[in-house]
Structure 1
Amino acid sequence: MRHPVIVGIDGTDASHDAVGWAAEEARLRGVPLHVVHAWLGETLNAPAGQVTRQTRDAGEEALGAAREQARMHSPGLEVTTELLDDYAREALFAASEEADLLVLGARGSGGFSRLLVGSTSLHLSVHALCPVVVVHPREARSTPGGVLVGVDGEQGGEEVLTFAFEAAGRRNLPLQAVHAWSYPLVSGPGHAFPAVYEEERIAAERERMLTEALAKTMKKHTDVEVAVIAVRSSAAKLLVTLSEAHQLVVVGRHGAVRGPLRRLGSVSQAVVQHAHCPVAVVPLG
């Protein structure tokens, strides 16, 4: 029996976006959608611009609205809900153990308007026991893009590639695999920049490496149209820029913990916070 797609909500516009995305994903995967709300510590807007603590009744109301939204979005989808007497981080971390995928809105109800991604969503991107999708709202496009995956050819990442290929295959979308590379900085006198022809040679070599990294997974997903590109660029900048023309970005997350956000990595962290479309963070190893 496959685990459900779980979406965490807090009644905000961001969680509304997350429910819609999660309902579609659950339908495509052929699994149930489980909507959860942990109400302890949550806030909601009150009259006169005040902020007050969330209540169980408000949580039940938010769950009911999310259930109806999911059913309208994906008729026939099995949708269950659960109100948890706990704090969001702890509750969603525990839920991730029984999930195929955990889906969260990019912004929370904590009231920090300058945060591009809410602290709970960022925390779960780092620590959840399953892949996490952080849903950034985006304007509808007449010509939807495909799935974008960042590849570090030197450190493998089969789990990331498998997730990306399966996501593209379920949606009948093309997949673009990208690898960013850069020259070492000039360190002193006598260290000149490489010639232009050397840049072309390195780019070709990196594309070859990228194609080799994809070869095994491509054989398992022959129905997915794949494009590969190796670019001299900052990886984070490249992925964030390209995300504007895609429906989903897939990045990896390393298992070793060295500080509160270290295992997410600077590139993945930047993509989660600044991408223009939903971002999937896939645990490695």
Structure 2
Amino acid sequence: MARPITAGVDGSPESRAAVHWAAREAALRGLPLRLAHAWLWQPLDVPIVQDREEQARSAESLVREAESEIARRYPELQVSAEVVPDTAVAALLDESERTSMLVLGSRGHGAIVGFIVGSYGQQVIASAASPVVAVRAPSAEDQDEAAIPEPREGDEVVVGQHGTPDDCDAVLGFAFETAAAHGVGVRAVRAWSLPTLYTYSPGSMRLADEAGGLEPFEKKALTEALKPWRERYP
């Protein structure tokens, strides 16, 4: 049975964008979509009325509304939704064990600073058993999360390659698979620099010397890492 793509749902605009992104990706890959919302009854130590049943109904309503919205947009897509009785990090890490991809919302913070994923998002990205995708909410000029961008000429998936082929096997596989699903190319980047005074030694430079220098060594390493994936995705 194919593993689904799973999106975390919490009712925020970022989460809604993540759900729509996950739905589009699942449709492209021919995979089912799973929506998960973590909710655990945790009474607060404050003198206010707390209704456990009302909170449970609210959590259930949250995922059902997301499920209904996606079902209307993608009638051919297999969609399931569940309220998971656990904390957010524990629930998402558990979901990552049985999904092909975990999709979370992310608050944009500009092109230079990058993503703000929150403390739970950082923990999930660091420890998840599956690939994790952080999705920005749409800008003020583009509020339609369901608009499907068509691939443009020159579009590509950029992937960083480091170490040996075994070190980067999973990330290269994800990059090529994603590029194939979207009908775009792959740009693989391997960064290197001259060794520092503290890391340089005749022994550490032996492999580079055998390859004809540092740059030829790095090019060879990149070519070897990409070879099986180029063959699998010609």
Q: Which runs of 5+ in 1 are unaligned?
A: 43-52, 108-114, 188-200, 223-285
| Deviation beyond 6 Å, 4+ runs, structure 1 | 140-143
- CA shift, 1:62, in A, is 2.0
2:29 aligned partner: 29
- CA shift, 1:142, in A, is 8.5
Whether 2:5 is the aligned partner of 1:5: answer: yes
Deviating more after overlay: 53-62 vs 203-212: 53-62
User: Do the aligned partners of 1:24 and 1:73 also contact (CA within 8 Å) in 2?
Assistant: no
Which aligned pairs between 1:246-261 and structure 2 lie closer than 5 A? none
Whether 2:85 is the aligned partner of 1:75: answer: no
Report the Cα distance in structure 2 between the residues aligned to 1:183 and 1:209, rounded to whole angstroms: 16
Question: Alignment partner for residue 193 of structure 2, among 182, 189, 193?
Answer: 182
1:243 aligned partner: none
2:228 aligned partner: 216
User: Amino acid of the residue matched to residue 216 of structure 1?
Assistant: P
User: Amino acid of the residue matched to residue 40 of structure 2?
Assistant: L
Deviating more after overlay: 89-98 vs 68-77: 68-77
Report the Cα distance in structure 2 between the residues aligned to 1:101 and 1:142, rounded to whole angstroms: 22
- CA shift, 1:69, in A, is 3.3
2:160 aligned partner: 150
Deviations, residues 199-226 of structure 1 (Å, cap 9, x unaligned): xx6445423321221011110111xxxx
Report the Cα distance in structure 2 between the residues aligned to 1:77 and 1:40, rounded to whole angstroms: 29
Q: Relative to 1, partners in 2 of residues 1:138 and 1:184: Cα closer, same or farther, differing over 3 Å?
A: farther
Cα root mean square deviation, aligned: 2.8
Which aligned pairs between 1:95-134 and structure 2 lie closer than 5 A? 95-107=95-107, 116-134=116-134
1:66 aligned partner: 66
Report the Cα distance in structure 2 between the residues aligned to 1:55 and 1:119, rounded to whole angstroms: 23
User: Do the aligned partners of 2:5 and 2:99 also contact (CA within 8 Å) in 1?
Assistant: yes
Q: Relative to 1, partners in 2 of residues 1:41 and 1:106: Cα closer, same or farther, differing over 3 Å?
A: farther
User: Amino acid of the residue matched to residue 184 of structure 2?
Assistant: L
Q: Relative to 1, partners in 2 of residues 1:208 and 1:159: Cα closer, same or farther, differing over 3 Å?
A: same
2:181 aligned partner: 170
Deviations, residues 37-88 of structure 1 (Å, cap 9, x unaligned): 012379xxxxxxxxxx992232223212321332344331011110122211
Report the Cα distance in structure 2 between the residues aligned to 1:163 and 1:143, rounded to whole angstroms: 18
How many residues in Structure 1 have an aligned counterpart in Structure 2?
A: 193
Question: Alignment partner for residue 218 of structure 2, among 206, 212, 222?
Answer: 206
Q: Which secondary structure state, in structure 1, belongs to the residue aligned with residue 86 of structure 2?
A: strand
Q: Relative to 1, partners in 2 of residues 1:41 and 1:178: Cα closer, same or farther, differing over 3 Å?
A: farther
Q: Which secondary structure state, in structure 2, belongs to the residue aligned with residue 180 of structure 1?
A: coil
Deviations, residues 152-196 of structure 1 (Å, cap 9, x unaligned): 043631121111111100110111100111123467xxxxxxxxx
Report the Cα distance in structure 2 between the residues aligned to 1:8 and 1:157, rounded to whole angstroms: 26
1:256 aligned partner: none
Q: Which secondary structure state, in structure 2, belongs to the residue aligned with residue 36 of structure 1?
A: strand
User: Do the aligned partners of 1:20 and 1:69 also contact (CA within 8 Å) in 2?
Assistant: no
Report the Cα distance in structure 2 between the residues aligned to 1:34 and 1:142, rounded to whole angstroms: 24
What is the TM-score normalised by the length of structure 1?
0.60
Q: Which secondary structure state, in structure 2, belongs to the residue aligned with residue 58 of structure 1?
A: helix
User: Amino acid of the residue matched to residue 177 of structure 2?
Assistant: E
Report the Cα distance in structure 2 between the residues aligned to 1:203 and 1:3, rounded to whole angstroms: 40
Structure showing greater Rg:
2
Q: Relative to 1, partners in 2 of residues 1:14 and 1:161: Cα closer, same or farther, differing over 3 Å?
A: same
Report the Cα distance in structure 1 between the residues aligned to 2:184 and 2:71, rounded to whole angstroms: 24
